[in-house]
Structure 1
Amino acid sequence: MTTMTEASVREFKMPDVGEGLTEAEILKWYVQPGDTVTDGQVVCEVETAKAAVELPIPYDGVVRELHFPEGTTVDVGTSIIAVDVSGGTAVAAPAAPAAPERQEEPKPQGRQPVLVGYGVATSSTRRRPRKGPETATPVPAPAAPAVPAPAAPAGLNGHGTAPAAAPVAPPQERPLAKPPVRKLAKDLGVDLATVTPSGPDGIITREDVHAAVAARTEAPEPAVEAPAAPTPAPAPVYDTARETRVPVKGVRKATAAAMVGSAFTAPHVTEFVTVDVTRTMRLVEELKQDKEFAGLRVNPLLLIAKALLVAIRRNPDINASWDEANQEIVLKHYVNLGIAAATPRGLIVPNIKDAHAKTLPQLAEALGDLVATAREGKTSPGAMQGGTVTITNVGVFGVDTGTPLLNPGESAILAVGAIKLQPWVHKGKVKPRQVTTLALSFDHRLVDGELGSKVLADVAAILEQPKRLMTWA
């Protein structure tokens, strides 16, 4: 019969699929116990604070156990699946050899009961003599209850019993203390008979009285806390027919934490500008017919992204971050352009690496890949790290504009509103024009009003006259 040993079982632990992630939720298992797996085979899909990621197993074998069901959030470094790599088929065999070994271990130890405290009955007799000396002598036994004052002279007149009665007399004598100390004890409400003296010849000092007060004030503390302990907090009751509660985890949890941190860390300033983008919309239609853009997605966002990249080139100081630990402004000579994307799992912001170095067709291709990957829920954690500046297009929802919050570690974010046909003064006449509103939020610690205004004005100027792309880029 073939059995598995513990040495043949490999534990696959939850990896850190993104920089600095601490947990991930198991969305779906693709294997079950008893299935054969090979090196590189995807065994499950997990959702991190960044995105959904498929996890491949790093060895061949037979699945022995899935440690967590779907929907469980697991810490990074915790084993999630056990695989037998020996090639055996039995699953439950390892428990058999382990049981006899554990049952036999206590037997040799039973021969040495003294080492572990078994079989020795003298321990109880050794504790009893502590009370024995008080009752071992027959003479002081009747003197113990004779606490009243008349009992003391009886013991003093009996010559033969005086030595035995002497130890009982001192506790009943007046405690030794100087008048100032007695007054202090009276003022503090301390009975000198309960104070342990530390002075010479058993005299009670001021320090002894204060020590007694300190001990008295410390003693009631646990008694005060005791009544509050047993009161249990009432369990919340929810009306499930009238409301639905959704656990905050994964992408939504990370987004919430990031936005709270951003709002209360970086001082936000937002500026607005309304722009006539009629010429930009015409250019979009022309580019769609251009052979160089065949098969690529061309839309207003493409030209807005290019306009922002040109504005950053003209005003490079806005592409920076604030290093709180070192109290430095970090100027970045590259642009990782983030594009906010709404997905079923929440808002994510993947970024186009080195967007500043891409031509317009390359930027169109990168934007298309980014959007398609986000919609499929396959955006990798690496694609959402290292962003420097972000664009959020709220106009696709029919919204005029907004005041966007910065992504942590970034200096600026541009919100693009809906492009609508509106009456506009053009060449001295009111005409219908394609108009939109842009909003630029920036970190006022490192971007002042002048710099922010210049960047927003440059973006607006390019969108009004897109030919500037050829001269400014």
Structure 2
Amino acid sequence: MTAQTFKLPDLGEGLTESEVLNWKIKVGEHVALNQIIAEVETAKAVVELPSPFAGFVQVLHATEGETVQVGGALVTFDDAPGGAESQSPGEGQKIAERTPTLVGYGAPAATGSRPTRKSRTAPAARPAPASTPVPAASPAPATKMPAAHKAAGSAVARCTPPVRKLARDHGIDISSLSGSGEDGLVLRRDVEQAIESGGAAAPASSASTASALAAQEGDRHVKITAVRRATAKAMVQSAFTAPHATEFLTVDVTDSMDLVERMRAHRLLKDVKLNITTLAALVVTRLLKTYPALNSTWDEKADEIIEFGSVNLGMAVASDRGLLVPVLKNAQAKTLPVLAAELSEIILQGREGTLSPAQLTGGTFSITNVGVFGVDAGTPILPPGQSGILALGQVKRRPWEYQDQVALRHTMTLALSFDHRVVDGKEASEFLAGVGSVLEDPRMTNIFI
């Protein structure tokens, strides 16, 4: 066969790029059809990529840790063994020159025999200003370029066409950015950071200053993962788009804790992982049908509010890769044992990093349990497109009024954040009070849900 290049496919859900976490193959190795060749991390999940071709690995077009755009070249295969090392110089040059990119073909790769661009500068006899230090050796005259593309005397910033377009659309001078990619390549995250900081590029001296501080004070530079970058972008978008309001309610959940213990001991539920979070999820999914505004979204373009017909419950999960919110579809139709089993499964998958992108999208209302970290309460930020999120605090014994006396009772603080464009304070308060009433007295279930 002729050489074939595998390009990063569209992994779904509108994802435009992925980071290569690790290669499962190496140059010169023979790969079978559908063999897993790499793990890539999208903004939503870690995905294993199977090979669509069988053959010998000729070129790996990305290094581990590099971000690749959808449609960008990943691997070139051929039927000849030996990979890139077995190619003749002409063949290698041809492949390098014709490496496909997202738009057309990229510039030829740099080689030792590559001809240099002819200088368009003024005659060499022109003297340099006295204040400008002259390097001891200059391999080639500097290429003249428009002032708009200069960055402190450096060449035009290197980046892919989509990244250049992103910068142009947001008014970012890409030549002012210091690329974090290989050989100074400006990556999408560099532009996004400039956008978030108001378009101001970091001074050239900041990198050296940070390095000096790290060496002196032991600072640690942690690479921003795709998940954390996506989470940050989503949180900023939500916080500055939807007007958040949060209400708090502390309730006595002693009876609910007793109920959970009794259910755990039941022979039909002995293999089901039941806890107060599961019970709260059941109450929430049933009560949302009475308060549909909290299970809806504000559609700016269509100038309407969409009330969802089903509850797709998001459950916030802390993982090594960052915050994930797997979604349990049609949660309102699931019985308590099924709800408990499926919630336990997606939480486990989230912690292990085995969720698919489809499992992380489509949520209509979310729950986050900050109590597992020993926290009484928090102010949760809405996931983009959702109008409500409930935070559960820790279950804690404290003195509480009970039957006209003070007793030690199990209590929990609930915090409901909502989009005030969609949800009025009355609806939010009634919903939160309803959830609290059922958790205080599970016998109220028939009245509220």
Q: State the TM-score, normalized to the length of structure 1.
A: 0.68
Aligned-CA RMSD value: 2.3
Is residue 9 from structure 1 mapped to residue 3 from structure 2 by the alignment? yes
Partner of 1:257: 233
Structure 1 residue 317: deviation in Å?
A: 2.7
CA distance in 1, matches of 2:41, 2:270: 35
Return the alpha-carbon distance in structure 2 between the equivalents of residues 249 and 427 of structure 1.
52
Equivalent residues in 2 for 1:62-73, closer than 5 Å:
62-73=56-67
Q: Is the 8 A contact 1:18 1:50 kept in 2?
A: no
CA distance in 1, matches of 2:92, 2:314: 58
Give the Å deviation of 1:230.
6.1
In 2 relative to 1, CA 96–294 (structure 1 residues): closer, same or farther, beyond 3 Å? same
Q: Could you say which residue in structure 1 is the equivalent of 2:214?
A: 240
1:19 match = 13
Provide the residue aligned with 2:425 in structure 1: 449
Which of 74, 84, 89 is 2:81 aligned to? Answer: 89
3-state DSSP class of the match of 1:321?
strand
Alpha-carbon distance in 1 for matches of 2:90, 2:204? 48
Cα shift at 1:296:
1.9
- Is contact 2:40-2:47 (8 Å) kept? yes
Equivalenced residue count is 341
What corresponds to 1:405 in structure 2? 381
Letter in 1 for 2:20: I
Q: Aligned match of 1:314 in 290, 309, 323?
A: 290
Once residues 362 and 464 of structure 1 are traced to their aligned partners in structure 2, the CA distance between those partners, rounded to angstroms, is 23
- Residue identity in the other structure for 2:245: V
How much does 1:9 deviate?
1.8
The yes-or-no answer on 1:383 pairing with 2:359 is yes
Letter in 2 for 1:60: A
Change in Cα spacing, 1:358 to 1:96, as seen in structure 2 (3 Å) is same
The one-letter amino acid paired with 1:463 is: L
Contact 1:292–1:361, Cα closer than 8 Å, also in 2: no
Partner of 1:273 in structure 2?
Answer: 249
Q: What is the SS of the residue equivalent to 2:288?
A: helix
Alignment-derived partner of residue 58 in structure 1: 52
Preserved contact between residue 30 and residue 81 of structure 2 (Cα < 8 Å): no
Q: What secondary structure, in the 3-state scheme, does the structure 1 residue paired with 2:245 have? A: strand
Please state how far the C-alpha of 1:71 moved relative to its aligned partner: 1.2
Amino acid paired to 1:74 = V
Residue 297 of structure 1 is matched in structure 2 by 273
Structure 2: give runs of 5+ residues left out of the alignment: 95-146, 155-202
SS at match of 1:15: coil
Which deviates the most, 234-243 or 416-425?
Answer: 234-243
Q: Taking structure 1 as reference, are residues 231 and 365 closer, same or farther at Cα in structure 2, changes over 3 Å only?
A: same
Distance 1:273 1:97, change over 3 A: closer
1:33 aligns to what SS in structure 2?
coil
What secondary structure sits across from 1:288 in the alignment? Answer: helix
Cα displacement string for residues 280-309 of structure 1 (whole angstroms, at most 9, x for unaligned residues): 101111111123223221111100101111
Asked if residue 327 in structure 1 is aligned to residue 303 in structure 2, the reply is yes
Please tell me whether residue 432 in structure 1 is matched to residue 424 in structure 2.
no
Task: Specify whether residues 291 and 38 from structure 1 end up closer, same or farther in structure 2 by C-alpha distance, changes over 3 A only.
Answer: farther
- Which residue type is aligned with residue 41 of structure 2? E
Task: Say if 2:21 and 2:38, in contact at 8 Å, map to a contact too.
Answer: yes
- State which of 314, 325, 329 in structure 2 corresponds to 1:349: 325
Question: In 1, distance between residues paired with 2:87 and 2:400?
Answer: 81
The answer on whether the counterparts of 2:252 and 2:412 sit within 8 Å (CA) in structure 1 is: yes
Matching residue of 1:187: none
Q: Quick check: 1:402–1:415 contact (8 Å CA) kept in 2? A: yes
C-alpha displacement of 1:94: 5.1
Q: Is the 8 A contact 1:310 1:469 kept in 2?
A: no
Paired residue secondary structure (1:279):
helix
User: 1:262/1:96 Cα in 2 relative to 1: closer, same or farther (>3 Å)?
Assistant: closer
Asked whether the 8 Å contact 2:326–2:347 carries over to 1, the reply is no
Question: Which of the pair has more CA radius of gyration?
Answer: 1
Query: How far did 1:240 drift?
Result: 2.2
Q: Distance in 2 between matches of 1:362 and 1:99?
A: 57
Of residues 265-274 and 20-29 in structure 1, the stretch that sits farther from structure 2 once superposed is 20-29
- For residue 23 of structure 2, what is the amino acid of its counterpart? W
Q: 2:60 & 2:26 partners in 1: Cα distance?
A: 7
Q: Contact (CA 8 Å) 2:227, 2:323: kept in 1 or not? A: yes
Aligned pair 1:41/2:58, yes or no?
no
CA distance in 2, matches of 1:380, 1:322: 26
Counterpart code for 1:290: H
Pairing 1:117-196 to 2, within 5 Å after superposition: none
Which consecutive residues of structure 1, in runs of 5 or more, have no partner in the other structure?
1-6, 102-224
Please name the residue that 1:160 is paired with: none
The structure with the largest helix share of the pair is: 1
SS in 2 for 1:291: coil
Instruction: Give the C-alpha shift of residue 395 in structure 1.
Output: 0.6
| Equivalent position amino acid for 2:396 in 1 | K
Change (3 A) 1:439 1:230: closer
Residues 218-277 of structure 1: per-residue CA shift (max 9 Å, x gap): xxxxxxx89x98678643222222212223331110011100000110000101111000
Aligned AA for 1:426? Y
Q: Deviations over 1:90-122 (max 9, x none)?
A: 545554676999xxxxxxxxxxxxxxxxxxxxx
Q: Does 1:367 align with 2:328?
A: no
The worse-fitting range, judged by mean Cα deviation, of 231-240 and 354-363 is: 231-240
Does the CA contact (< 8 Å) of 2:29 and 2:81 recur in 1? no
